[in-house]
Chain A
């Protein structure tokens, strides 16, 4: 049938439309009704208003998920001329991004770091919108545009704290690195477009997996394209050669925005990366022969460098935000292992599900970590780790929560972080073919790095529990700090005891949302993984979506 769009597409897309309008309303509200209020009152009012909008959008998402796409678990849930995904992937991840956004909004209400609250919250909402579109986009044009919208909103939010020098500097550095990398990314896209003549991710995957296409062998232009696209994504998720912006941006940005950078933008960019690298360029992934290496080798190098550099540099950090920045770089390294597994595994959906599991847990915990930084910012104006001294004595519950968070970030069993790493590394070990050795090495390095990371996470715990305080004590944190902390720690603990529920959900998402082009499977399934995860049919029978009916 001819692709088109109907009213249902708009209904499915209504949460995003609602949010966009909500952002405009936020601006109008700030300039008209609240224009006479002081900064603090406006901050509180607009924050509550923003939370209301986000919550209603989440509700709308879930309603749609049950009403329209809840039962759709096929390849075909594309809307708007197949440029967007209207399926479970879209609804679930939209709800997730909005949850992150709600927590970030709570953190924004902690203290006054700018006087332009209307613009601040509007840009926050719009960046959430563009993240959702980025996750849902099935077309390179939509993907590039939403990626740019997201990053431009984030540049602006980063520099929004106009009373501090470092905020402006962070914004400019973020902007310069970001726009250069997006220019490289765009050139890579243009080369891919030249080789396939299509901008639809799925169509690119099908064309590249055609019979007459011998992978990447002898295709230097394709290699350059992959490299440039990898630069773009690597910047967005702060992988190592392109990470220089991250520590500065995280430290300079106000704590909520740093949390937003670490959680939302990383989540959206990684999902888009899985789509492009696994879906469109998936056929170029594996090393079919020593003469034709796929992008796996390169990504493995990046991943190894990222986790090692992140962890070892984090060891020396004293500023809490900077420490969290380096830890997020390290986590990006772990996640790249998952991306590689998606690229070359025979069980791509499961690998993607494991990666998404890790992403969710990581996002929640890191937001909670930045909530700590926001607390310090409000009461002491500094964010050094030593400011946490003796926190556990005065606020035992906070101590427990932080303990859970840190254990989850290290990956210690009772918490969800452990299962995230476990699933992802098992999927990574599940691959076969030429790249098996690489993956085993990567997993080993990942485990070693987890041990290394334990040192600086434990340093925070040591400060909280063992050290005596030597500074003026923190005041009680209001609900706007305790909520993100509680949500992060609680969910980390809950999914630590109920990992299967989240994993099942993520598998539904990845199976119905991601579509990978067929690729000659190089290896047989491994029996060992079956004991942990029930075996799924390989993605070979993933039908091309073009002739499937619309929901």
Chain B
């Protein structure tokens, strides 16, 4: 390609989607909605990792694909997190008939 994409463009994209995810976490009342927003945030971080791996310099002691490996493990963590989260949400839903974070009110203080 004659024209290249600067690194900062990827970073802008990641930053924007990350803050969108943060906004979603704050604005969603439904736990599953919050889960989706968290997924957006994790993906933004992944884009950062892969972009830095592809563009940035790495010290010699580093593996050839450290950034990609990090992103890979983050994907694993995200999958596990979603499974656990949905399990917890089901558990609470059976008790409250609601999956909304702010309807859980037995604990207070």
Contact = CB atoms under 8 A, between A and B. Distances in A.
A and B touching (C-beta < 8 Å)?
Answer: yes
Interface of A: 3, 82, 140-141, 144-145, 148, 152, 155-156, 159, 162, 165-166, 168-173, 175-176, 179-180, 183-184, 186-187, 189-191, 193-194, 196-200, 203, 207, 247-248, 251-252, 317, 319, 322, 546
A255 to B, nearest CB: 15
B77 A194 contact: no
A443 to B, nearest CB: 29
Contacts of B18: 187
Interface string B75-93: 0110011001100110110
A183 B77 contact: no
A141 B69 contact: yes
Contacts of B35: 179
By secondary structure, the A interface counts as helix
A168 B66 contact: no
Contacts of B61: 3, 82, 198, 200, 203, 546
B18 to A, nearest CB: 6
Contacts of A194: 11, 48, 51-52, 56
B62 A200 contact: yes
Contact of B101 (A159, A176, A197): A176
B56 A197 contact: yes
Given A197-B57, A322-B109, A190 B38 contact: no
B85 A175 contact: yes
B56 to A, nearest CB: 5
A172 B89 contact: yes
A197 B51 CA distance: 11
B31 interface: yes
B27 interface: no
Given A183-B42, A187-B45, A189-B70, 18 more contacts: A141-B73, A148-B80, A159-B91, A169-B106, A176-B34, A186-B42, A186-B45, A186-B74, A187-B18, A187-B48, A191-B48, A197-B62, A198-B61, A198-B62, A199-B70, A203-B59, A248-B109, A319-B109
B107 A197 contact: no
Given A148-B77, A203-B59, A546-B61, A183 B38 contact: yes
Closest 6 CB pairs of A and B: A190-B48, A183-B41, A194-B52, A197-B58, A248-B107, A169-B104
Contact of B107 (A207, A252, A317): A252
A327 B57 CA distance: 46
Contacts of B66: 141, 193, 198-199
Contacts of A203: 59, 61-62
Interface of B: 11, 14, 18, 21-22, 25, 31, 34-35, 38, 41-42, 44-45, 48-49, 51-52, 56-59, 61-62, 66-67, 69-70, 73-74, 76-77, 80-81, 84-85, 88-89, 91-92, 95-96, 101, 104, 106-107, 109
Given A152-B84, A170-B107, A145 B62 contact: no
Contacts of B21: 183
16 contacts: A144-B70, A168-B88, A169-B104, A172-B92, A180-B25, A180-B34, A180-B38, A190-B14, A196-B59, A197-B56, A197-B58, A207-B59, A247-B107, A248-B107, A248-B109, A252-B107
A199 B41 contact: no
Contacts of A191: 48
Given A144-B73, A187-B18, A190-B49, A152 B80 contact: yes
Nearest to A180: B25
Nearest to A325: B109
A172 B107 contact: no
B49 A172 contact: no
A516 to B, nearest CB: 18
Nearest to A170: B107
B92 to A, nearest CB: 5
Nearest to B69: A141
B9 to A, nearest CB: 14
B52 A193 contact: yes
Contacts of B73: 141, 144-145
A159 B88 contact: yes
A171 B85 contact: no
Contacts of B44: 187
B90 to A, nearest CB: 10
A193 B70 contact: yes
A156, A180, A322 interface centre (most CB from chain B within 10 Å): A180
Contacts of A197: 52, 56-59, 62
Contact of A172 (B11, B25, B56, B104): B104
Most buried by A among B88, B92, B101: B88
Nearest to A145: B73
B69 to A, nearest CB: 6
Contacts of A159: 88, 91
B107 A251 contact: yes
A454 B76 CA distance: 46
B56 A183 contact: no
